[in-house]
Amino acid sequence: RSSYYTPVTPSNLCKPRRLYISFSDVGWENWIIAPQGYMANYCLGECPFPLTAELNSTNHAILQTMVHSLDPEGTPQPCCVPVRLSPISILYYDNHDNVVLRHYEDMVVDECGCR
C-alpha cells in the first residue's frame, strides 16, 4: 500500500517514503505466520545540483549532478536509492511444514542517498 503523505515541508528531494508491505497483498499469507506485514519504506526524490550533505551522496554523485546541470539531456541525475537498511525476523512454514524463524537483512529502508 503506497500512499503519498504530505510532509510538513513539501519536498521532492531524495528521502524515504512510507510503504507498508502486507504479506497477504503479495500472496504469502499461507506461508508467513508473523508478522502480517511491516513498514518497509522506499526511496523517492530528486538529486539536484548542488547536492547537500543530508542527501547522503557519494563524490561521484556530486560530479554527476554537475555534469547533469551542464548537459541535462546527455547525463541523468544520480539515483535516489536506499543507503541504510535494517533487518527483520520472519516466522514462516517451509515447504516441509517445519516452522522457521529466519533473520533477513536489508528489509527496512532507514535512509536514502544519491548514488
Partner 1 sequence: RPRESRAPALRFVGPNPPPGAPAPVPAVLWRIFQRRALPSRGDTAPGPSCRVEEFNVPGNIIRVFADQGHFIHSGEPKTFLCLEKRLYFNFSVLEEGEQLTMAQLEINFSHNSYHTSSGRQVFELRLYQALQMSLRGMSSHMYNHKLLVAQSFAQLHKSLLFNLTEVAKGWRTPSRNLGLILEISVGSRDSALALPPRRLQNLCASIDSFLDTSLLVVSLNQKQCQASRKR
Q: For binding to partner 1 (CB under 8 A), which residues are involved?
A: 27-28, 30-31, 33-35, 87-89, 91-106
Q: What is the DSSP letter of 14?
A: S
Residue 80 backbone dihedrals phi, psi, to 5 degrees:
-90, 105
Q: Which is nearer to partner 1, 9 or 95 (CB)?
A: 95
Query: What is the residue-wise DSSP string for 36-93?
Result: SEEE--EEE-B-PSSPPGGG---HHHHHHHHHHHH-TTTSPPPPEEEEEEEEEEEEEE
Q: Tell me the closest approach of the beta carbon of residue 17 to partner 1, in angstroms.
A: 21
Least separation, in Å, of the C-beta of 36 and partner 1? 11
Q: How far apart are CB 65 and partner 1 at their closest, in Å?
A: 24
Which residue's CB is nearer to partner 1, number 28 or number 49? 28
Residues 6+ apart with CB under 8 A from 24: 36, 37
Residue closer to partner 1, measured from CB, 35 or 50: 35
Q: Which three cell numbers stand for residue 113?
A: 542517498
CB of 40 to partner 1, least distance (A): 12
Q: Which is nearer to partner 1, 8 or 99 (CB)?
A: 99
